[in-house]
Chain A
Amino acid sequence: QVQLQESGPRLVKPSETLSLSCTVSGDSIKNYYWSWIRQPPGKGLEWIGYIFYTGSTTYSPSLRSRVAISLDMSKNQFSLKLSSVTAADTAVYYCAREVPLVEFGVAFDLWGQGTKVTVSS
């Protein structure tokens, strides 16, 4: 059974860098694209970006200047860094697997449990 588990600090100070990791168990990280998605308290879902095992990344235009997603093949893990955070970056952060559809794009079929990150001094 494939599982995703986020880890990282739950509290980050304003202007600092938020860092999270997602460990994939039960499957190789090589087989899929992997995304980060966040959800501010009481609000909707926002896609942050994705990475492929080759290291190829794509980021949301609204966060592109502050985001970096990387991966560690030896740990079967991918990571998120979001710099210069403010209170607006307070959210539950999810890692998710993208599954290619036979037709019509991709979908997020597997999600981590989510980790709430609060930006506060």
Chain B
Amino acid sequence: DIQMTQSPSSLSASVGDRVTITCRASQAISRNLNWYQQKPGKVPDLLISGASSLQSGVPSRFSGSGSGTDFTLTISSLQPEDFATYYCQQSFSTLYTFGQGTKLEIK
């Protein structure tokens, strides 16, 4: 399996902060990397596909970058509705795997 490791596992930040979450793959996965946002009690929501393509309706303060083994999700200016858990997921292998998640909390 391809292992996906996110860091940090949790993060406290304030409204207006710039935040970066990292996802590392155990082997090169090109740009086959997606990001999801999950709010408590809700269904995961696809934010970014192909490492950097924002889904329709996702605010432009979200951005993704990276290729190979190292990827980042950046929120340029945190808004109250952004406090959630974020997951990366690879589809380079058809044995899909998720990162363990990064919980973004209000400071």
Contact = CB atoms under 8 A, between A and B. Distances in A.
Interface string B49-84: 111010100000000000000000000000000000
A28 interface: no
Q: Is the interface of B mostly helix, strand, loop or mixed?
A: loop
B44 A103 contact: no
B91 A105 contact: yes
Contacts of B94: 50, 58
Given A101-B49, A104-B51, A61 B98 contact: no
Contacts of B96: 35, 47, 50
B49 A47 contact: no
A101 B87 contact: no
Task: Bin chain B's interface residue count.
Answer: 20 to 34
B98 A47 contact: yes
A101 B94 CA distance: 14
A18 to B, nearest CB: 20
A45 B98 contact: yes
A35 to B, nearest CB: 8
A33 to B, nearest CB: 9
Interface of A: 35, 44-47, 50, 58, 60-61, 94, 101-109, 111-114
Given A45-B87, A102-B50, A108-B44, 15 more contacts: A44-B87, A45-B44, A45-B98, A50-B96, A58-B95, A101-B49, A103-B50, A104-B32, A104-B50, A105-B91, A106-B91, A107-B49, A107-B91, A108-B89, A109-B46
10 contacts: A45-B36, A47-B89, A58-B94, A60-B95, A101-B49, A105-B50, A105-B90, A107-B34, A107-B89, A108-B89
Interface of B: 1, 30-34, 36, 38, 43-44, 46, 49-51, 53, 55, 87, 89-92, 94-101
